[in-house]
Structure 1
Amino acid sequence: MASHRRPKQPSRTRVTVLTATAAAAVALTSQAAHADPKPTKSEVKAKVDKLYHEAEAATEKYNGAKEQQDKLKKQVDAIQDKVAREQADLNTLRRELGSIATAQYRSGGIDPSVQLFLASDPDSFLDQASALDQLTAKQAESLQKIKAKQRTLAQQRKEAQEKLGTLADVRESLGRNKQKFQSKLGEAQRLLNTLTAADRAKMAEGEQRASRAAGDRVDLGNEVPASALGAAALRAADTRVGMPYVRTATGPNSFDCSGLTQWAYAQAGVEITRTTFTQINRGTHIARSQLKPGDLVFFSNTSHVGLYAGNNTVLHAPYPGAYVRYESMSTIGSYQAAVRI
């Protein structure tokens, strides 16, 4: 007779292991099917360029906070110097008042009638009494001076305290923006690291080649600057073609975008502010159709600036890894505004 024993059931542990293995296999297969393909070199470059522009916006805010911090620090130092001088004057007045009080005590410690009785020379006593009246008047004057000094000191200390509070806020903003651009630059570097060393070298070589070519073959047309000042600034910036972009740098051998424009105008004899956000308010706003060589041109929500060079071309410091160069306005970013210094 054939055996009818029921087949042995697999253990619960074995079923669990098999189920987990199968699920993992399905998950891996699914992940493989849906995994994003590795970005190409051109895709990496596009993403990196975008991150560099975002880092530049944070850098300009950092530069602005740094400029404000430096100004506030000078103001606080000047106020604190005044406070120290006023305090020294106040201490001198207090010492003078103490001397007067001591003199009064010494000469007023005996009743005047007794002093007159004991005095060998009544005329001498009357002279002393007259001096005592003068001391009393001097004391009143000293008290008024002390009160005035105390009011001045209180006002100056309040002003210093307010400035220090603002300085603390600015330093906090400085730290946030520094962290932000460092984060963007770090993300860009991680993307670049997905490329081979050979590809990274080619990209760097391409940036250098593009900068050299821009300086050698750029066609600026025959546009005439609106002023000698603009022409001088543009000539100065032209001598920096090929210099590397370095965040927060203001020259003469490396620049960020607003550092270059500030340096160029300084060589022309005019001081302009440090950041794109303040440079845009420095001169006269003009329409794009009115651009002349030497004018400042702003892009990408005022986070980037360059000098108009003619023929729809700008001379600027682009972004990390690039060099000061001439470039078509159509490839830099979204046009924002133009200013003539």
Structure 2
Amino acid sequence: MASHRRSSQPGLTHSARVTVLSAAAATAAAALGAAPAAVADPGDGPDSSRATVDRLFQEAEKATEQFNKAGEKADRLREDVSHTQDSVARGQERINRMRGALGSVAGAQYRSGGMDPALALLLSADPDSYLEKAATLDRISERQATALLDLQQAQRRLGQERAEAARDLVELERSRAAVAHHKRTVERKLGEARRLLDSLPPEDRADFDRASRSGRGQLPELSGLAPSSARAAAAVMAARNAVGRPYVWGANGPSGFDCSGLTQWSYAQAGVGLPRTSQAQRYAGRQVSLSEARPGDLVAYRSDASHIAMYMGNGQVVHAPYPGAPVRYDPVGMMPVSSVTRV
């Protein structure tokens, strides 16, 4: 869903110079479904329309990554809240047991009448026996004092855990609201792109459709440099098998993908856990130069890393481009490269 403009990377073919996103706009319109056609400005030509579609897809992709980030945070907070609530419940049970034990001791003392120890010694028929009992009672009193201290500490910890759970619940609601906000932004941007595409003359849309098929189904040879590791090789094979599956924003497989969802899913098939967003994935390993890229390396695009692909060798990447364009191969220089990461 990005503005696929050529970077200044040397050695690219003429096909790499095509604005890939714009050229595939017609298929995006079909995938997004029918909508009332917008009326194009008579002063807008095909170039202006392509630029607008590029911008809308790029903005929608950035919003998609924010949607993924907010969703990932919400999932983590849900797990944290669940664990904290379990801990609070266990802590409350422990406090109840401690209170029960202390209550039993207090009840026994009450039933004894709370007689002054000196008077009890004077009235005792067996002073030696009384002194032994008194020493035992002193030890019991010490244990009771320790138990009271433990109870107080447990109550403080429980209060802290309850406060933590309350804060997490508030943050969870904020994350849910952020998810909904970014979802609305994505849908609005894609809707604008759809209406613009529907307003274009049929011949322009046909040109876009023809160009959008470039790169689809071309399997780059993995000759030359091999993947850097067995797990990278496994991720490469998973990504190759995903070619042709649809772009679905916010999805991470197996039936559909967005850009970071594809790379996350591919490495998951190799037993490697990647973060959900392209911005986080760019730091999920060691960064290398583009000239050192090997199959399986992650190629992030634009300065904000709002798009990501997997290098496949022979100057090609595989990626999930944008709505309407399935997972496919494109030249590595289709957009400005911001980083290459070896997982």
Q: Which category of TM-score, normalised to the shorter sequence, fits these structures?
A: 0.7 to 0.9
For residues 95 and 267 of structure 1, the distance between their equivalents in structure 2, rounded to whole angstroms, comes to 53
Runs of at least 5 residues in structure 1 that lack an aligned partner in the other structure: 1-34
Cα RMSD after superposing both structures? 3.2
Q: In structure 1, what is the equivalent of residue 85 of structure 2?
A: 80
2:338 counterpart SS class: strand
- Structure number with bigger Rg: 1
Identity, in percent, stands at 44
Q: In structure 2, what is the equivalent of residue 254 of structure 1?
A: 256
Q: In structure 2, what is the equivalent of residue 167 of structure 1?
A: 172
1:308 counterpart SS class: strand
Q: In structure 2, what is the equivalent of residue 265 of structure 1?
A: 267
Contact 1:192–1:200 at 8 Å: present in 2 too? no
Task: Check 1:134–1:186 CA distance in 2 against 1; reply closer, same or farther (3 A cut).
Answer: same
1:239 counterpart SS class: helix
Q: In structure 1, what is the equivalent of residue 318 of structure 2?
A: 315
Contact 2:290–2:340 at 8 Å: present in 1 too? yes
**Partner deviation per Cα, 1:188-221 (whole Å, 9 max, x = no partner):** 122233247x7799589658x717x621x44447
Q: In structure 2, what is the equivalent of residue 230 of structure 1?
A: 232
Task: Check 1:199–1:139 CA distance in 2 against 1; reply closer, same or farther (3 A cut).
Answer: farther
Contact 1:41–1:199 at 8 Å: present in 2 too? no
Aligned residue identity for 1:263: W
Q: In structure 2, what is the equivalent of residue 242 of structure 1?
A: 244
Q: In structure 1, what is the equivalent of residue 306 of structure 2?
A: 303
Matched, 1:325 2:340: no
Matched, 1:176 2:178: no
TM-score (norm 2): 0.76
Q: In structure 1, what is the equivalent of residue 286 of structure 2?
A: 284
- In the TM superposition, residue 148 of structure 1 has moved relative to its aligned partner by 1.8
Alignment of 1:74-223 (within 5 A): 74-109=79-114, 132-195=137-200, 206=210, 210=213, 214-215=216-217, 217-220=218-221, 222-223=223-224
Task: Check 1:203–1:242 CA distance in 2 against 1; reply closer, same or farther (3 A cut).
Answer: farther
- In the TM superposition, residue 306 of structure 1 has moved relative to its aligned partner by 0.6
Q: In structure 2, what is the equivalent of residue 8 of structure 1?
A: none
Contact 2:222–2:312 at 8 Å: present in 1 too? no
Contact 1:225–1:294 at 8 Å: present in 2 too? no
Q: In structure 1, what is the equivalent of residue 55 of structure 2?
A: 50
Larger relative helix fraction: 1
1:108 counterpart SS class: coil
For residues 267 and 203 of structure 1, the distance between their equivalents in structure 2, rounded to whole angstroms, comes to 37
Task: Check 1:199–1:77 CA distance in 2 against 1; reply closer, same or farther (3 A cut).
Answer: farther
Runs of at least 5 residues in structure 2 that lack an aligned partner in the other structure: 1-39
For residues 279 and 286 of structure 1, the distance between their equivalents in structure 2, rounded to whole angstroms, comes to 14
Task: Check 1:239–1:155 CA distance in 2 against 1; reply closer, same or farther (3 A cut).
Answer: same
Contact 2:297–2:341 at 8 Å: present in 1 too? yes
**How many pairs were matched up?**
302
